[in-house]
């Protein structure tokens, strides 16, 4: 994250909200993000220098991921997280009789 870019983003967002008189509608301003998580991560040992910000460790070769989607609004409300896991898609035929 870059402080300058974040500051510019929120300044532009504030301008748009004021221009269209939306600044009082915080419950309608949402942010959504997704991230992937490795299902199996059990490192046996981690060695790093004191104060290191990023740590690397060896894990199993299993690279199965789960996708997590989260959303929250400017009023402080959040939707329950949505999880996307590996699976197979089935086609379902629906017949509607009138």
Predicted TM-score (pTM) above 0.85: no
Task: Round the CA-based radius of gyration of the chain to a whole number and report it.
Answer: 21
Is the predicted pLDDT of residue 90 greater than 60, yes or no? yes
What average pLDDT does the segment 33-53 reach?
77
User: What confidence tens digit (pLDDT) does each residue in 75-87 have?
Assistant: 889 999 988 887 7
Confidence of residue 53 (pLDDT cuts 50, 70, 90): confident
Report DSSP letters for 37-70, one per residue.
EES----S-----TT-S-------S---EEEEEE
Is the predicted pLDDT of residue 63 greater than 80, yes or no? no
């Amino acid at each position: 994250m870059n402080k300058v870019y974040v500051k510019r983003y929120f300044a532009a967002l504030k301008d748009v909200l004021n221009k269209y008189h939306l600044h009082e509608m915080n419950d309608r301003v949402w942010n959504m993000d997704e991230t992937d998580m490795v299902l199996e991560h059990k490192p046996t040992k981690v060695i790093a220098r004191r104060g290191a910000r990023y740590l690397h460790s060896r894990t199993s070769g299993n690279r199965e991921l789960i996708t997590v989607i989260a959303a929250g609004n400017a009023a402080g409300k959040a939707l329950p997280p949505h999880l996307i896991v590996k699976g197979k898609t089935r086609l379902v035929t629906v017949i509607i009789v009138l």
